Amino acid sequence: MDTPELSLRELDALFDQAPVAMVFADRDTRTMRINAAFRQLTGLPDEALIGRRPTEFDMADRVMDLDLIERTLAGQVIRQGVPVVSMPLEQAQEAGERRVYSWTAYRVMDDGQVLGAAGSLTDITDSVEAAAALRQANARLDLLQRAGSQIGTTLDIHRTAEELARLAMPEVADVVTVDLLDPVLQGEDPLTGSPDQLRFRRVAMRGAASVVRPGFAVGDLITRQATSRAMTAFSRGEPMLMRNPAEMRQADMTPCQTQALLERGVHTFVLVPLTARGVTLGAAGFGRAERPRAYDEADARLVADLAARAAVHIDNARLYTREHDAAVTLQRSLLPRDIPQVAGLDIAYRYRPASGAAEIGGDWFDVIPLDHGQVALVIGDVTGHGIPAAAVMGQLRTTTAALARLGTPPDQIMRQLSGLVAAHGEEAGATCLYAVYDPASRRCRLASAGHPPPALRHPDGATELIDLPPGLLLGAGPGRYRAVDRQLAEDSVLALYTDGLIERPGEDIGIGLSRLARAIAAGPLRPPGDLCDSVLARLAPRPRDDIALLLARTTATPPPASP
């Protein structure tokens, strides 16, 4: 049975009733026929469309690239016979609405003759916006994930603030500023109460070429009125969203800063408090100049999340810095301010705390004059860091001095110290090297509790590491600490040090010991102070760990004491 052909009336009905906007144009791209959906899409009557080329449509209130449509129809579709399939076309309307259409067009022929072109437009705005929203959500999630690994890599306040600025620009802003309350940077608690003015210090700033300096530079002190809208929101711990220049002026962050931002093209801004553990530490600002789109509530939530992550790390750095400074102060107070000069020895020392953000350790040393012109030289290193290590170190130094002045032999001193450390728990431990020198006989008696061996430079410049029985670490349990006697010639140099001078990550300690021996042997014999400086400059210009270095040069034998 033959299938009946569709009648012209049925084809007309099919064309007119199609829900997709459809149009037919002749070989000159003049519109010959449209359907109801096309009329609705354009909002124009037939007489404004029929017989006209696309560029002749009167669509002033609905901006679309009609030139592109006409060129493509004439050149590609009608002349070359190459169809257009799902080409996106954007249309902007006076009300600010933006629509996106998928355009398909193909050449129509009959018996080898080109009749024109047929086309269709499908509104895909919702799917395009959904896809854009999904991409934006994925981008924001990716940004927050990267924030977890790129913000807070160190316990340094300024570095953390800079990491926040670097991540946010250019991802979500063309300018980023990070300002901390000045008391926070001074190691004090943030301001409490209701001060009339809030003092901030700019600690980080990044901006596009057009907004390199938005009013204040890093290091500048910024005073803001506590009663301004921006500071009122700041005091409540709330982000301040400024969608346009008018709202930026009304927020009154500071007249100077607002004007500088506006002059550099910043047209939208978000000011976010940096709050961690209920404490507000400062504020981060995010602005757009080169991006035309204003910030919205979703953007404000995103930058607030970034700021919250940074604030936790900034607070960690603040608390660490406070404890670090307290530990440094405590340790310095427990170390000798001046060492006594004793007959028969020329003594110098250097103490270097770890550089950067590393924690303070428990390195210590002492020089203790004894009866009959003898002198005890002591150096040690408590395991752990911070105030607990410094406290143990202070106890060890005090106990060692008391036992030494009682004439206690080195091995017994070590056993007493080991019991003291053990009383602090299983995790406590320390190394120690104790030496007693008698200038009259030039005999030196040494004992070690797991400490690196002392170095000895002979008068001819040759240097050796004195081989001592290692002994157990202090606190590791009962053990023997056998002492060794060495005879020291005049102009010998005995070097006692802690492991921060010789150890490097991933390197065998023997390499560090060899490096130390070469540094002590280098050059002619110099005063101990100069030799201390030379050794430190060569081996540890920026120490990763605390270093204590004690050098003692033997001098001429002192005359016997008068009867």
H/E element holding 100?
A: strand 98-110
Q: Which residue has the tokens 């070590």?
A: 414
Tokens of 313: 């790390």
Type of residue found at 172: V
Please, what is the end-to-end C-alpha distance for the chain in angstroms?
145
Q: What is the signed CA dihedral for 128, 133, 136, 138, rounded to 10 degrees? A: -110
pLDDT tens sequence for the chain (563 residues): 455 566 777 777 878 888 888 999 999 999 999 898 888 888 888 888 899 998 888 776 566 788 888 899 999 999 999 999 999 888 876 556 788 888 999 999 988 899 999 999 888 888 887 877 777 777 777 877 888 888 888 888 899 999 999 998 888 899 999 999 988 888 776 655 557 788 899 999 988 876 656 667 888 888 888 888 888 888 888 999 999 999 998 888 876 778 888 888 899 999 999 998 888 899 999 999 988 889 999 899 999 999 999 999 998 888 877 777 777 777 677 777 788 888 899 999 998 877 544 456 688 899 999 999 999 999 999 987 777 787 888 899 999 999 999 999 999 999 999 999 999 887 889 999 999 999 999 999 999 999 999 999 999 999 999 999 988 999 888 878 999 999 999 999 999 999 999 988 888 999 999 999 999 998 888 899 999 999 999 998 887 788 999 999 999 865 555 44
130-325 and 336-554 in the same fold: no
CB-CB contact of 460 with 410 (8 Å): no
- Number of Cβ within a 10 Å radius of residue 119: 23
Report angle CA 483, 528, 332 to the nearest 5 degrees.
Answer: 80
CATH architecture of 336-554: 4-Layer Sandwich (3.60)
Q: What is the CATH number of domain 130-325?
A: 3.30.450.40
DSSP of 397-431, one letter per residue? Answer: HHHHHHHHHTT--HHHHHHHHHHHHHTT-TT--EE
283 to each of 143, 187, 203, 231, 511, how far by Cα in Å?
20, 17, 11, 10, 48
| Rounded CA separation 107/130 (Å) | 32
Helix locations, 172-254, DSSP H? 182-185, 229-235, 245-251
Q: Reduce the DSSP state of residue 47 to 3 states and report it.
A: helix
DSSP state of 78: I
Report field, pTM of the whole predicted structure over 0.75: no
Would you list the domain boundaries of the chain?
Answer: 8-123, 130-325, 336-554
Cis peptide preceding 170, ω within 30 of 0: yes
CB-CB contact of 22 with 38 (8 Å): yes
Q: Which residue has the tokens 């608390």?
A: 319
CB-CB contact of 392 with 421 (8 Å): yes
Tokens of 44: 């124009």
**Left, alpha or beta for 213 (phi > 0: left; psi -120 to 50: alpha)?**
beta
| Rounded CA separation 421/427 (Å) | 10
Q: Helices 410-422 and 386-405: crossing angle, nearest 10°? A: 150
CB-CB contact of 99 with 90 (8 Å): yes
CB-CB contact of 489 with 468 (8 Å): no
Q: Which CATH number, 3.20.20.100, 1.10.10.10, 3.40.228.10, 3.30.450.20, labels domain 8-123?
A: 3.30.450.20
List the one residue out of 202, 203, 208, 130 whose CA is nearest residue 172.
Answer: 208
DSSP of 218-233, one letter per residue? Answer: TT-EEEEETTSHHHHH
Tokens of 157: 């306040």
What order do you get walking across the sheet with 345-352 strand by strand? 345-352, 547-554, 493-497, 455-457, 463-465
